[in-house]
Structure formats: C-alpha cells, structure tokens
Structure 1
Amino acid sequence: MKHLPLFFDLAGRTVLVVGQGAAAERRAALARSAGAVVRRAEAIAPAHLAGATAAFVATGDTESDRTAVAAIRSARLPVNVADCPALSDFIVPAIIDRDEVVVAVSTAGTSPTLATELRARIEALLPERVGALARLAASFRTQANALIGDPARRRAFWRRLVAGPAGRLMLSGDEAGARRLLLGDLEAARHAGRPSGIAHIVGAGPGDPDLLTLRAAQLLQEADVILHDDLVPPAILGRARRDAELVCVGKRKGRASWAQKEIEAEMIRRVRAGEIVVRLKAGDPFVFGRGGEEIEALRAAGLPVSVVPGITAALGVAASVGIPLTHRRIASAVTFVSGHAAAGARTSAWPTLVAQGHTVAVYMGATEAVSVRDRLLDAGASPSTPVAIVENGTRPDERVSVGRLSDLARLAVSHTSRGDAGPSLIIVGEVAAFADVRQQPLAQVS
C-alpha cells in the first residue's frame, strides 16, 4: 500500500490554497465541502501559513509549485500539488459523497482516469440514500448498546439494520416505517426473539435480466424467499441469492395456479415469520400485475412493504424491436390495454383508441386476437392499420410478426398454436410499421 487512506476532520480548520485557475478552485471547493475555512493566496508568503492545517498548491507553474512546497514544508504542513504526486505529501482520491458515507478511490496518482472509472462503477452500486441509513444507525446506537448486552446479538442487530427490512425501507425513503420496524427489531434482539420480516413487490421487467433495476437486483440477493410469476424466466431467477427459496405462484392461461388470495396469504404468513419476501412479477407490478391488491393486503395486515417498479412489457418490447410508441409526426398518445378486456364486456373506450395518432399496446392479447381485431374495426379503425405481435420480447428467443389489422388473427396463430408459446404483446398503430425484423430469422412479415 503506497498511501495510507485517512479521513481528516477539517471542520472549522484553515486550509491554504495557493494558486488561481480551475485546479485551485476545485481544491478550494473540496476543502469547503469538508467544513474547512479556505485561505487563498496567489503566491506563498509566511503570513499565509499561520494556523493552517494543510495546504493545496495549484499555481500551474513548476517552479512556483516547488517554491510554495518548500515554504509549506518548512512550516511542517502536509501539502498536495495538483497533478504532481512526486511533490505531494498526500493525494486527492476520486470521491463518492453520500453525506455520512464517503468512499475514496485511489491509484496512488498513477492513473486518475482509472480512479474516476472505478468511482463511477462503485457509485452506481451505492443506493442514493445510504447516507440517511448511516444517520439512522447513529440515532439508534446509544439505545442498542444499552439494551442489547450480548455482543453477538448486538452485531446481528446492526447487520440486520444495514441489510434487512428496516434498512431497505430507509433506502426507499420511508424513514417513519424504518424507525417503527427498527424499534421492533431492537426489542426482539433484546429478548432474543424473532425479528420482523418485510415484503418487496418487485418488477422483473420484460425478460432480459440486464433490464432489471439496480434495486431489484439487490433485493434478489437479499431475499429469503422469492414468490415469482410463471412468466419470470430462469435467467432472472438465476440472479437470486443461491440459498433463496424459489416458489412459483404464477397464473397462466390454461394451467392450474395459485389463486390471488392464496398468494397474498402466503406473503403475509412469511413476513410474519420474519422472512424477507420478494414477490417477483413479470414487467411492472402496477401495470396489469395485481400489485395493488397485494400491497393493499399487506398494509391491511399491518406489515411493512415496498414496491420496486420494473420496465413494463410495452416499453421493453417496443424498444427491443425498434417501435417508438410515440412519434412526433404520427403518434402523440399511447394506451396500455389488457387483451382480456377485448373478450369481456363492451366498453366505450375502444372508439378513443382508434383516433388518429394513437398507439395501442395490448397485453396478453395474442389468444384474443380475433376480439381485439373486431373491437378495433367496430370502433372505426382502418383494416390497413399496421400491427406487430412480439413474442418473448427482449429475450433470446424473441419472435415478431408484422402486418395489417385485418390480418391480426392469422398473424397470431404462430404465436399461440405451439405448446411452448411465450408471452406476446400486440402493438397497433402507424408506429408498428417501424418494427425491425431484419434480425428476426423466425419472423413472419406480411
């Protein structure tokens, strides 16, 4: 280790910055961000050194830098020289600042670009509110140390605060909920009881595991159990913690499945048992995902719950095949519709959907293609309106068929007749003509 990483408390202390220009300004701003009193000087003089704790030199001239360093070292102050590690007593690392949490990355001055790149990667992994989580821990430190005498139970309490339900609520912005849960954990730890659990209703996106949100990926690594939809592919389930329990509770047409009330009861049972539960739903939990019913059931039971959005199918699928759902010249509105609505009671909404410049994304619509076609034609849509059917969108086995509204039922056959048919989305509107089928060897183009 070439440099010892240390964190100095500079609050209220004087830091000297010698030089002008952008480099000097950056160092002055950095010192002020740590609470220091900045003393500026264009050229070094003995009076500038009185009472100072440390110094930065950024004159932009090598000889001026050397002169300033000699004077500063004679006063026994540590000094940093911009872009010159050889003249520096300390270096400035790449910094990630999250209030109470600060991460510094250094390459010992050998490659600032590499340090910056590493900082960006680490920054992407750190939750935005991790500093607030540190403040929460600080606010409970005195209580925890006083109430939990056993060191092992105390360490377990702190680990659970950081990685458990209370910490997750704090990171999502629910400070009141986090504090309530932490008080329960504190009492449980005091009496060696069972800690509280939590449910996370998480969107898995359209199928490509690289489209998971960072928070979704983190929760898959924290979950004790994952209650997942049948449509969530193995590639996403493979991102879960190795010892997490995987339970398929999904509902799929033509197959026996869990009833919605059974899913809700299972979530409640497991949270009450102290488990971290992830309810993993294809797409987004609040877009045809019944996530609203599940959060309502958990809240009614007085249990903690958070919701993590996912990329809903229409957005992911459209992007995957190059269809802009809105387009400045031809489409200014888009509506998401369930295919089951086409087969159910008649609704006054269909005439609105066929208005010029309107895109319609029909979820779970391939098996109801005849009803979708008839409803749109009855509402006044032109038979020549472009349509696209995308099966297994964003996945390696993605298939797309394009054609006209009048041909929708025929196009849908190849997406519904196979025993291994995947989830399909129908896009209706002028924008459907943008579908890129060049890289789709199995595509049907009409």
Structure 2
Amino acid sequence: MDYLPIFADLKRRPCLVVGGNDIAWRKTRMLLKAGADVRVIAEALSPEFQYAVEQGQVTHIGTIFSPSDLDGIFLAIAATERKAVNALVYQSANQRQVLVNVVDDTQRCSFIVPSIVDRSPIIVAVSSSGQAPVLARLVRERLEALLPQHLGTMATLAGRFRSRLTEKVTSFAERRRFWEQAFAGRFASLVAKGDHAAAELELEALANGVESRGEVALIGAGPGDASLLTLRALQLMQQADVVLYDYLVSDEVMDLVRRDAELISVGKKAGFHSVPQEETNRLLVQYASQGKRVVRLKGGDPFVFGRGGEELEVLFDANIPFEVVPGITAAAGATAYAGIPLTHRDYAQTAMFVTGHIKPDGKQLEWHTLARGNQTLVIYMGLMNSLDIQLNLIRHGRAPDTPIAIIERGTQRSQKVFKGQLSELADLAQQAASPSLIVVGEVVNLSEKLHWFGKQEQQLHNTFDEQSTVVKLA
C-alpha cells in the first residue's frame, strides 16, 4: 500500500493554495467544503477566486510564494504553471513537515487527493496512488451510480438515534442486527421517499421489537437493455427478498436481481400457460404481509399497458405500502434503438400508443382516429391480430403503402427490425416473434438514415418488394 487512506478534519485549519487558476480553484473549493481556512498566493486570480476573496471565503495573502508562508500551515497545494515554484513549495513543505500536494506531479506529493463520492456524512474515496487517475475517476463514476443520494440522510438519521438505541438495546450484537435490518428494510425505503418523520418512527418501532412491515416496489424494467434501468430500479432489485417478474423482462435485467432473492415468474404470453392476474395480486399481498421486500418487475413501464394500476389498487386495499419506479416504455426505447423518431415536423405531429389485444371486429377501437395521417401509431402486443389491424387501418383511410416496422426484442442484442408497407403487415408479422412492437407511419422511412444500434448486416428477406426488408441489429 503506497498511501495510507485517511480522512482529515480540516475545520478551521489553515491550508495554503499556491496558484490562482481553474485547477487551483477546484482544489480550493474542495477544501472549503471541508471547512478549511484557505489562504491563496497567486499573481492573478480566476473570476471564481476573485468572488470567493470578495465574499471573505478565501484570504489572498500575496502574489509571490515564500517558504515562510508555510509557517503554521496544516497542508499545502501547489497548482501553478511554473515547475520551479511548485518544486519550491514541495521542498519547503517537506522541510517543515507540512503535508503537500503538487498537482499532476505524484513524485512531489506527500499526500494525494482521491476521487470522492460524497454522500455526507458517508464519503467514499478512490485512489490509484497517482498511477491511473482517469481509472480511479471511472471507478468513482460506477460507485456514484450504485450509491443512492439519500445515503447521507440515512446516516444522519441513524446517528441521531444511536444514543436512544443504546438505552433500549444493551447488547452490541443485537444493536448490529438492528442496524442491518434497518438499513436493508423499510427505514431505508422511507428515507428514499423523503418521509423522514415516518423513517424515525420506523426506527422506534424496530427498537421496541415491532416487526417491520413489508412493502412492494412496482418497477418498470424497460424494453430489455439493462443499461436503460433507472438507478432506483437497480437499488431496489438488489435489496429485494422476493421478485415477481414478467415474461417481457429480459435475462440481462434479471441477472441484476439480488442473487439470493426468491424469483417467481408470473408472466403472460399469448398461446402459453400464464399466471392469472388474481394469483399475482394474491402473491403480492401474501409476501408483503410476511414483512418481505417485494419487487414486482414488469417489462417497459408498469403504467403503460402493464396493469400496474390494478395491482396497486389491490395493495392499497390491503394496506400494503408501495412505491413505483417508472421504466422506459417499449414505444420509446425500441423505436429509438431502431432509428425511428416517434414525431417529426415533416411527417408526424402526433404519436399514439394502443394495445393490439383486440377482438376480431375491432369495435372497441376508434379506427378513424387511429388511421389518420401525419401521425405515428405504435401498437403493443399486436402480432396475433396483425391482419385485423392491417384491414381496419386501410378500411378507415390509412394508405396501403404507409411505411411500417415490426421491432422484435427492441434494444436487445438480438433486436430485429422488419420493414415494409401497411398492406404487408400480416405477412411480416408471421416472420416476427414476441415480444414485438408495430410502428405505422412515415417516420419509419427515417430509419434508413437514423439507425445507429449495431449495424445493418444484410437484407435477410425480400418477400414482397424492395421496401419489404428485415434488418438484424447485432
């Protein structure tokens, strides 16, 4: 270990910064956040420095560095463009046993500044010992994504409760188990929601031996690409005791679920056995009533043709706490990955989303509205009824040569895009597999220029004419 990682208390301690440029200001800003008494030596100051001096946040003590400027200083940072000045600061600081950092010169550093993830009072520092600072920054970015913003608030609330817990729970081992349960349970969820008063009550209840209540997180898993998950979705998936998931959730997303969570498939797929909605509702209530953290994982967004609202009504009636994490719906994700904009000033001023689960006569849909020109029509779950959709759209005024696309497994590595004309929809649908999305409108033609995900390998089919193609994206 080349460096000992420590956290220094700089409150009101004198710290010297030599240099007035932007880099020096970034270091100064960090010191100010830690409460240091910052003094700067520089011939010229950046606008940010000037403002800080005028506001009394920083003291400008001179323009030329002298070794005596280090007298009484706790630590120093040199960030000038002059190597000779930086070297003098380093040499003088070493002689006085003052910690010193010369920016971008590891050989002249008795301390280095790590990459920091700040969730005060939780602070995570990452360092490469000066060998690969860009790599350290990339690691920090990964941690930024994994550590929720409310982590600091959770630590602050826990700190307030420590003395009360010591009074109630005398055993160290019992207190440790208490905090493990609190940080992984409903207390953490309440803090994440911003309900701090309820979070503090939850700590009181746990300390009094009251069993923690279970809760349900209704999460949109997006269209398939795991990198499109929200941070909140990933955090809850990693904390879940039980996960009820749909057929539409990709394997790539499922791989991110907590390893020891109980996984229950409640998916629905046309033509296959599926779990009745009533049974799914019953399982949600059952597991949450047992005090478990339940994740209901749905493809796309749970409130877009996902029956999410129906499931939450059941939870409300059963007095089960819940939260909703939106996901990218297939109409937005799959079309974007296929290079098809939903709206465009020249072709579509409206975008409409409908479900393809329709009766053969199609009476429940306003086909005159769906068949209008200058709009994009996106149809979920429409493969099985593609012929009825084709006939009704043409019958109600949509031109038979209107461009269409069927996007199979949108956003995933196995994505395929079948393109043709409205008059060919039913035939193209026979080549596609679920889950697929149907897009009707002139914007489909823009995919020839705008497709970006993977590459167009080859024209795999030419069943009808030159406009009927399948594009596989790898």
TM-score, L = length of structure 2: 0.83
Q: CA deviation at 1:428?
A: 0.6
Within the candidate set 149, 154, 159, 1:128 is matched to 149
Q: Give runs of aligned pairs for residues 20-39 of structure 1, distance below 5 A.
A: 20-39=20-39
Q: CA deviation at 1:172?
A: 4.7
Residues 1:98 and 2:119 aligned together: yes
Q: Which residue of 1 aligns with 2:443?
A: 431
How many residues are matched?
A: 437
Q: Match of 2:357, SS?
A: helix
Structure 1 residue aligned with 2:318, among 269, 294, 301? 301
2:208 corresponds in structure 1 to 187
Say which of 329, 340, 344 aligns to 1:323: 340
Is residue 186–residue 212 contact of structure 2 (8 Å, CA) maintained in 1?
A: no
Other-structure match for 1:264: 281
SS across alignment from 1:167: helix
Report the aligned-residue RMSD.
2.8
Equivalent residue, structure 1, for 2:398: 381
CA distance in 2, matches of 1:222, 1:175: 20
Partner of 2:89: 68
Q: Larger deviation: 26-35 or 137-146?
A: 137-146
Specify the alignment match of 2:8 in structure 1. 8
CA gap of 1:246–1:65, structure 2 versus 1, over 3 A, is: closer
The Cα offsets for residues 1-31 of structure 1, whole Å up to 9 and x where unpaired, read as 1111111121222212123322322222121
CA apart distance, 1:39: 1.2
Where does structure 2 lack aligned partners over 5 or more consecutive residues?
42-62, 449-454, 469-474
Mapped contact 2:408–2:436 kept (Cα < 8 A): yes
The code of the aligned residue for 1:142 comes to S
1:84 and 2:105 are equivalent in the alignment: yes
Which residue of 1 is the match for residue 296 of structure 2? 279
Residue equivalent to 1:332? 349
Seen in structure 2, the aligned counterparts of structure 1 residues 69 and 394 have a Cα distance that, compared at 3 Å, is: closer
Q: Does 1:162 align with 2:183?
A: yes
Q: Is the 1:342–1:375 Cα contact (8 Å) retained in structure 2?
A: no
Structure 2 CA distance, aligned partners of 1:183 and 1:385? Answer: 63
Alpha-carbon distance in structure 2 between the residues aligned to 1:375 and 1:82: 69
AA partner of residue 457 (structure 2)? Q
Q: CA deviation at 1:262?
A: 2.6
2:130 corresponds to 1:109: yes
For residue 35 of structure 1, report the CA deviation from its aligned partner.
1.4
Q: SS of 2:260's equivalent?
A: coil
Alignment correspondent of 1:231: 248
Which residue, out of 232, 235, 242, partners 1:215? 232
1:427 deviation in Å? 0.4
CA distance in 2, matches of 1:174, 1:34: 28
Change (3 A) 1:25 1:243: closer
Contact 1:326–1:431 (Cα < 8 Å) also in 2? yes
Assess if the C-alpha contact under 8 Å between 1:93 and 1:105 holds in 2. yes
2:11 maps to a residue whose letter is A
Q: Distance in 2 between matches of 1:177 and 1:299?
A: 18
CA contact (8 A) 1:16 1:56 kept: yes
Unaligned ranges ≥5, structure 1: 416-420
Aligned to 2:55: none
- What amino acid maps onto 1:90 in structure 2? F
Deviates more, 1:423-432 or 1:76-85: 76-85
Provide, for residues 373-432 of structure 1, a one-character-per-residue CA deviation record: whole Å limited to 9, x for no partner.
2443344322221111223333454443322222323332334xxxxx422211010012
CA contact (8 A) 1:39 1:48 kept: no
Does the 8 Å CA contact 1:15/1:55 hold for their aligned counterparts?
yes
After TM superposition, the structure 1 stretch with the greater mean CA deviation from structure 2, 64-73 or 156-165, is: 64-73
Report the AA paired with residue 338 of structure 1.
Answer: T
**Whole-angstrom CA distance in 1 between matches of 2:359 and 2:374:** 21
**1:259 is matched by which residue type in structure 2?**
P
The residue type paired with residue 213 of structure 1 is T
Separation in 2, partners of 1:118, 1:401 = 40
Question: Residue 3 of structure 2 aligns to which amino acid in structure 1?
Answer: H
SS at match of 2:74: strand
- Aligned partner of 1:67: which letter? L
8 A contact 1:401–1:411 mirrored in 2: yes
1:317, distance to aligned residue in structure 2 (A):
1.9
Q: 1:176 to 1:338 in 2, by over 3 A?
A: farther
Q: Pick from 140, 143, 150: which aligns with 2:164?
A: 143
Per the normalisation by structure 1, the TM-score is 0.87
